[in-house]
A and B are shown apart, each in its own frame.
Chain A
Amino acid sequence: MSGGVDSSVTALLLKERGCDVVGAHMKLWDYVDVGGDIHRDGRCCGMDSITDCRFVCDKIDAPFYVLNLSDTFRKKVIEDFVAEYAAGRTPNPCVRCNTEVKWDAFLGKADELDCSHIATGHYAIIDQGEDARWRIRKGVDSTRDQSYVLWGLSQSALSRTLMPLGSLLKSEVREIARKHDLRTAEKAESREICFVADDDYRRFLREYASKHELRFHPGKIIHADGRVLGEHEGTEFYTVGQRKGIGIGHATPLYVQRVDPARGQVIVGDDADLYTNELVAEQVNWVSQTPPAPSATFSCEAKIRYLHQPARAVAKVLDADRLHLVFREKQRAITPGQSVVLYDDHTAIAGGVIAK
């Protein structure tokens, strides 16, 4: 339970179905460690969020516990976040948290408390295909579908996960909350990274680097045609497709094409240059489908960002952990470090991390 309306309604629906529900809030970080404005509303892991969870659990008569997972989160998510930027990639910490922290920790706790399943408020559907393999499918509300962030989950994790909101629209969920007088009914959504309270990842990186005595990769801003246009303080502060903040006057708008931390270079160019149609995905996890043999190819629709319309592509399996994707049409700003998820209509087949 995050303190938001989705996890509140999830707890309520399961309680109504007759489940023995135990509410748990994962404390993943502290303001002392991550900085940012502590007075900003609705931030998960702040005291307000925990209190909201508490009230909801009290209302539905479920025990409520705060689980401190900040050590694991720091090691597996925060440190990875920083390392990825340093390596010239744009990380997706929410995916990493799901894959490495949330499910593991939650299931571990479920075992300790003798609970058979865990449940979350994600808008996605978990079910079994004809071959009994656990599948992740898009939630019914296409504007809220969160199947994209779940690609890293194992079969054993999925077999014990309930997501009751997958078959509901967000508006229906809010209505349920209102009807039951849940104080989280009107709560604003949070879409940003939970531990970057002010949504300013650069501020976070600067403070983190200063606290841990890390250095950035400064150097030159270079046009794709070779001209050196200026200087920058660190490749960490730039992401593919970025336009703002390059700080260089130019006849036409400049966009970040790629970053090269080893050389300290940020390469910029025109918007048109951002469109490419190939990528290699690493750390691939096969979800709804058993892993095909290497060299197998198949059609799919691939999503390269959370806010991206899945686009038609042909996937070729390279080996157990990697695949190669060729899009039918060029896609804008394919970004190393982001997740790519392959869909077959509504089913998320597999996912991986976009390699350089």
Chain B
Amino acid sequence: MDRIYLDHNATTPVDPDVVEAMLPYLRGGFGNASSVHGFGREAKVALEQAREKIATFIYCESAELYFTSGGTESDNMAVLGVASQSKGKRNHLIVGATEHHAVLEPAEHLEHKEGFKLDLLPVDGDGFSFADDLRRLVTDQTALVSVMHANNETGAVQDIAALTAVTRDKGILFHTDAVQSTGKIKVDVRQLGVDLLSLTGHKIYGPKGTGALFIRKGVKLTPLFYGGSHEKKRRPGTENVAGAVGLAKTLEIAGERMDADYRRLQELSDYFIDHVTTAIPDVFLNGPRRNRIPQTTNFSFAGIEGESIVLSLDIEGIACSAGSACTSGATEPSHVLVAMGKPKVRSQGAIRFSMGRSTTKEQLDYVIAKLGLVVQRLRDLSPLYGKQK
């Protein structure tokens, strides 16, 4: 068996058609999109066409779509940018308890260094937040609420429309991190009712270093950095035209494949979950079976640590992850699982398998078999297994 990649939530291979679409802008079409001359104009046209395609994809206007270097930048731009505008007027922020660090950390920074008050919106055992809880937290000092559309560790998809109904018309802005959802399920900013939305390319078979932020018309934002009039001064810097073209292309492809991919991944993941939980004792699925991005499956194996499983599987040529890809080497429990009320011990033993376009049933059968052996070996070594069932 060749190496098996089951970490699509961390990143995805770039679709060959996307590479093809980008190449002209790395070769002859290399112009700086802000240049007045012909080279620049060609690049600018490509950039604006890409912008239009992406805006259409998420049901917003071109004027509301800003190119960034990716999800983390978009998240920072949204959180820090809105907060900066509100400072001195409204000083309360609400952020989901299971948000990615790219939202949590800027929010924590605002709390510790900029005098904002921060509340976390709780989630239930499946990772869902509810309008009633949000209603309880919202005050007349609330400037921004940020809740992710789909969670990177469990795949849980939040009912964002229900949450934005709470904040609308109260002078509160709502941001959603749609990094894991865009391209996999329908993302419609009007239907969601959000004011800001982050998306990225590399989770959906596009290049790394590309992304965008939707900023609804009328929303004021302080830019993260200064240095030019690009993106209406909201995000200066010579545009990554090839990247933008790639991002547009990959979303276009994703749109065409969305329904079929969704069904296929739903089937594969149901198969995987059913077989893993049958073949291996004392396994827990973290996250919901429905209302989730189907490719994501997150398990806790009683008595053993996630990291040990990941390394052992890696040696067998199987790639997956413990917690999210961004935490390096620390045996901290996943804040997402902790927020879902999972005992600390379960949060440290969690593994995420995330499937993609290349995943086959044959691969999954191989993984299930190897996983069984690895878990058995680690449990035989573990002083904890049997004591914490």
Contact = CB atoms under 8 A, between A and B. Distances in A.
Nearest to B382: A112
B312 interface: yes
A66 B311 CA distance: 10
A112 B328 CA distance: 19
In the complex, which of the residues B315, B328, B378, B381 has the most CB atoms of chain A within 10 Å of its own CB atom?
A: B315
A127 B283 CA distance: 43
B314 interface: yes
Contacts of B312: 112-114
Nearest to A25: B329
Contacts of A113: 308, 311-312, 315
A8 B248 CA distance: 45
A24 B74 CA distance: 35
A112 B315 contact: no
B329 A66 contact: yes
Contacts of A22: 315
A63 B317 CA distance: 11
Interface residues of A, number: 13
Contact of B311 (A27, A65, A68): A65
A48 interface: no
Nearest to B380: A111
B329 A27 contact: yes
Given A22-B315, A63-B314, A63-B315, A112 B381 contact: yes
A112 B308 contact: yes
Dominant secondary structure at the A interface: mixed
B interface: dominant SS = helix
A68 B377 contact: no
A253 B377 CA distance: 63
A112 B312 CA distance: 7
Interface in A99-117: 108, 111-114
Contacts of B329: 27, 66-68
A27 B330 CA distance: 10
B314 A111 contact: no
Contacts of A111: 381
Nearest to B328: A66
Contacts of A65: 311
A3 to B, nearest CB: 15
Interface in A25-84: 27, 63, 65-68, 71
A130 B311 CA distance: 39
B315 A68 contact: no
A108 B377 CA distance: 13
A114 B315 CA distance: 10
B240 to A, nearest CB: 27
Contacts of B308: 112-113
Contacts of B381: 108, 111-112
Contacts of B328: 66
Max chain B C-beta neighbours (<10 A), residue from A63, A65, A66: A65
A352 B133 CA distance: 62
B330 A68 contact: yes
B238 interface: no
Contacts of B315: 22, 63, 113-114
Contact of B378 (A27, A63, A68, A112): A112
A66 to B, nearest CB: 5
Interface in A311-355: none
Contact of B377 (A27, A66, A71, A114): A114
Interface string B121-156: 000000000000000000000000000000000000
Interface of B: 308, 311-312, 314-315, 328-331, 377-378, 381
28 contacts: A22-B315, A27-B329, A63-B311, A63-B314, A63-B315, A65-B311, A66-B328, A66-B329, A67-B329, A68-B329, A68-B330, A68-B331, A71-B331, A108-B381, A111-B381, A112-B308, A112-B311, A112-B312, A112-B377, A112-B378, A112-B381, A113-B308, A113-B311, A113-B312, A113-B315, A114-B312, A114-B315, A114-B377
The 9 closest A-B pairs by CB, nearest first: A68-B329, A112-B308, A66-B329, A111-B381, A65-B311, A113-B312, A113-B311, A68-B330, A27-B329
Given A65-B311, A112-B381, A113-B311, 12 more contacts: A22-B315, A63-B311, A63-B314, A63-B315, A66-B329, A67-B329, A111-B381, A112-B311, A112-B378, A113-B308, A113-B312, A113-B315
